[in-house]
Amino acid sequence: MATVKKKRSGESAEKKIVEAARKLFTEKGYYAIKTRDIAKEAGINLALLNYYFRSKEKLFAIIMKENTVRFMQIITEIVDDEKTSIEKKISMLVTNYIDMLSLNPDMPLFIMSHAQRDDQRIRMREKMMSSFFMKQIQQAIKSGKVANINPANLMMNIVSLTIFPFIARHVMQGLTPKQFNELMEERKRMIPLWIEAMLKVK
């Protein structure tokens, strides 16, 4: 038996720690979570956390990086494609975000809450505003195909309608998780249509 890896009952300790950290940091944020919480959740000893990651700060940086990459990747993969139509891109942005966030519902609030203290700041606006997607929009405005909307506001609208519900989940009490999912499924269909309607407003 040469390169056999690990036993059952859960991966390497290192991986278990990262998983626990991802879960807890993303749920509650950097300051609310103590290293002891992570160790307990991971089912390992507190000392081991420092053995592998040296400090809470460094472990957090890993999770922050993971989350921002996953969060930005959706935009990155879509907006700069030169062969996709405006309508298709909007529809893809909405669908891909809602699908991803349904699996990671705490991610947006995590991102927004930690954007200040983050080193390699997230560049959502920059990414979208300098994209080929924005060129397409400006072209469509010039040719009169859509109304003269401020591109920054268009971008803000797509993102707001898609992401905000996940951020506001906890103040939207009364919705069961099932109802919330149904609502988001409906929004996947409707948001592109609503955006389209906006693009006709003078």
Please tell me whether residue 14 binds DNA under the rule CB under 7 A: yes
- Contact region for a second copy (CB under 8 A) — 56-64, 84-92, 134-142, 146-154? 146-154
First to last CA, the chain: 71
Picking from 99, 119, 109, 89, the residue whose alpha carbon sits closest to that of residue 168 is 109
Each residue 56-85 as x (binds DNA by CB under 7 A) or -, in order, gives xx----------------------------
Picking from 108, 122, 120, the residue whose alpha carbon sits closest to that of residue 163 is 108
151 binds, among a second copy, DNA, none (CB under 5 to 8 A by kind): none
Q: Are 122 and 68 in contact (CB under 8 A)?
A: yes
Which region holds residue 171: left if phi is over 0, alpha if psi is between -120 and 50, else beta? alpha
Burial class (CB in 10 A: 0-12, 13-18, 19+), 19: middle
Each residue 11-50 as x (binds a second copy by CB under 8 A) or -, in order, gives ------------------xxxx------------------
Contact residues: a second copy, CB under 8 A? 29-32, 109, 111-113, 115-116, 121-126, 129, 150, 152-153, 156-157, 159-161, 163-165, 167-168, 170-175, 183, 186-187, 190, 193-194, 196-198, 200-201
